[in-house]
Chain A
Amino acid sequence: QRIRSQNIVPCTVSQLLAAEQVDETFRIRDVEISQVTIMGIVRHAEKAPTNILYKVDDMTAAPMDVRQWVDTDEAGGENVVVPPGTYVKVAGHLRSFQNKKSLVAFKIMPLENMNEFTTHLLEIVNAHMILRKNLTSASRVPQSFSSAGIGDMGGYGGGGSLPVNGLTAHQSQVLNLIKNCPVPEGMSLQELKLQLHNMSMSTIKQAVEFLSSEGHIYSTVDDDHYKSTDAE
Chain B
Amino acid sequence: MGDLHEVPRPRIATGHLAQHIGRPVCFVGRVEKIHPTGKLFVLSDGEGKHTTVELSEPLEEEISGVLEVVGRVTNQATIMCMSYVQFREDKSPFDLEIYNEALKIIHEFPEYFPFG
Residues of A within 8 A of B (CB): 12, 14-15, 18, 41, 43, 57, 59-63, 85, 87, 111-115, 118, 121-122, 124-125, 128-129, 132
Given contacts A114-B89, A122-B102, contact A15 B114 (CB under 8 A): yes
Given A12-B113, A125-B106, decide whether A112 and B98 contact each other with a Cβ distance below 8 A: no
15 residue pairs of the A-B complex, CB under 8 angstroms, read A41-B85, A43-B1, A59-B8, A59-B9, A59-B115, A60-B114, A60-B116, A87-B87, A113-B91, A115-B94, A118-B102, A121-B102, A124-B106, A125-B106, A125-B109
User: CB within 8 A of B112: which of A61, A62, A129?
Assistant: A129
B84 CB → nearest A CB, Å: 10
Contact flags B9-27 to A (C-beta < 8 A → 1, else 0): 1110000000000000010
Find out whether the CB atom of A114 lies under 8 angstroms from the CB atom of B26.
Answer: no
Query: Which of A112, A121, A129: most chain B CB closer than 10 A?
Result: A121
* Other-chain contact of B113, A114, A118, A124 (Cβ < 8 Å): A124
Closest 6 CB pairs of A and B: A128-B112, A62-B6, A113-B92, A114-B87, A59-B9, A59-B26
Cα-based distance from A132 to B111 in the complex (angstroms): 10
Chain B neighbourhood of A85, CB < 8 A: 85
Q: Is the interface of B mostly helix, strand, loop or mixed?
A: loop
Interface residues on B, range: 20 to 34
**Complex Cα–Cα for A62 and B106 (A):** 19
Q: Is A60 in contact with B105, judged by CB distance below 8 angstroms?
A: no
Chain B residues numbered 1-54 whose CB sits less than 8 Å from any CB in chain A: 1, 5-11, 26
CB-CB nearest in chain A for B10: A59
Given contacts A57-B5, A113-B91, A113-B92, whether A121 and B113 have CB atoms under 8 Å apart is yes
Report whether B114 and A115 are in contact in the complex, using a CB–CB cutoff of 8 Å: no
Q: Are A115 and B85 within 8 A (Cβ)?
A: no
Q: How far is the CB of A97 from chain B (nearest CB, A)?
A: 20
CA gap between A128 and B26 in the complex, in Å: 22
Least distance between B32 CB and chain A CB atoms (Å): 19
Can you name 15 extra interface pairs (CB under 8 A) apart from A59-B9, A114-B88, A132-B111?
Answer: A59-B10, A59-B26, A59-B115, A60-B115, A85-B85, A111-B88, A112-B91, A114-B89, A114-B92, A115-B98, A118-B98, A121-B106, A124-B112, A124-B113, A128-B113
| Closest-CB distance, B107 to chain A (whole angstroms) | 10
Residues of A within 8 A of B10 (CB): 59
Q: How far does the alpha carbon of A63 sit from the alpha carbon of B9 in the complex, in Å?
A: 11
A59 and B7 CA atoms in complex are apart in Å by: 8
B95 at the interface (CB under 8 A from A): yes
